Amino acid sequence: DKITAYVVNVKAALHHFISTEKPKPTVRVNPQSSVYTGDRVTLTCNLKSTGWTFLWYKDYQELYLLSPGTRNTNTLSVTVSNEGVTQYYCKARWRNYDSEISDPATITVRARPKPVVKTSDGVTLTVSEKPKPELTSDLKGDVLTGNSVTLYCTLKPQSDGWKFYWSNHTQRTETETETYTYTIRSVSVSDGGQYRCRAGRGNPVYYTDYSDALWVNVNVLSDGKAPLSGLKLLSSAVASSPYVLVTIILAVKCYRARTDPDEDNRPYRVIEAEAS
């Protein structure tokens, strides 16, 4: 394979040597757009046949300072540092036979523009103290188990975009709501205690201060409480008028007379009570 490639290259070189017209390479520049000081530019010397080594020129001065490995390649990379117009050329060589020199590749280098700093119009930033919400309840006194209670976390002045966070002494995490109200539908004993709230908005979240504590006192509603209230009401009525007692006794006797057939045969003694 190496012998075949060598023969092919020799044939190509002999063809150019015998030909009356020398081959002429072309130079391609990258980038082709505007070049500024400090940019890196790559030039490529193109020739149709292979097996050539390449020589590079800058403004018709051969670039001897390149390393031997770089000097013989068809690619040249340079960092431009000065403003102005520079022309690069290349030439191909096979042993003692040189191609024609390429047409110039012109690179125009401009000074790198300085960054433009513009000052925007001024903005007014108003800094105020961190707001502190007020926590209130819809109940003035204690709440009975099974009933509901609603808490209100009020910010002054009110504005949009806030979420509200609720906590009490038994919770490790806060309860989040989209509105400033928090309702406990069926209150249990464990719902009692000290509550606080705060508001937050934005990303990352900006929090207000916590509100002052609000105590929710829960009373247990026992089964005997309702009947006991009825007896108290009856006692108050009897104490206010003895005639009420007489009326009740007569009503009971009439009821028994209807339900017990022997009720009429039993002796009764009616004591008349004077109203005091």
* Residue 170: CATH number of its domain: 2.60.40.10
Determine, yes or no, domain membership for 262: no
Domain end (from 219, 240, 259): 219
Determine, yes or no, domain membership for 198: yes
Q: How many domains does the chain have?
A: 2
Q: So what's the pLDDT on residue 113?
A: 84
C-alpha distances (whole Å) from 140 to each of 40, 135, 146, 262 are: 80, 13, 17, 57
Query: Helix, strand or coil for residue 155?
Result: coil
Determine, yes or no, domain membership for 199: yes
Determine, yes or no, domain membership for 182: yes
Domain span at residue 210? 134-219
Q: So what's the pLDDT on residue 224?
A: 46
Q: So what's the pLDDT on residue 119?
A: 86
Domain end (from 197, 219, 241): 219
Task: Kindly give the parts of the chain with pLDDT less than 70.
Answer: 1-20, 64-72, 222-248, 251-276
Determine, yes or no, domain membership for 74: yes
Determine, yes or no, domain membership for 82: yes
Q: How far apart are CA 216 and CA 67, in angstroms?
A: 87
Let me know whether 99 and 169 are in one domain: no
Query: Helix, strand or coil for residue 198?
Result: strand
Q: So what's the pLDDT on residue 237?
A: 52
Let me know whether 198 and 141 are in one domain: yes
Cα angle at 81 between 25 and 55, to 5 degrees?
25
Determine, yes or no, domain membership for 85: yes
Q: So what's the pLDDT on residue 103?
A: 93
Determine, yes or no, domain membership for 201: yes
Token pair, residue 138, equals: 């819809």
CB 75 within 8 A of CB 56: no
Q: So what's the pLDDT on residue 230?
A: 36
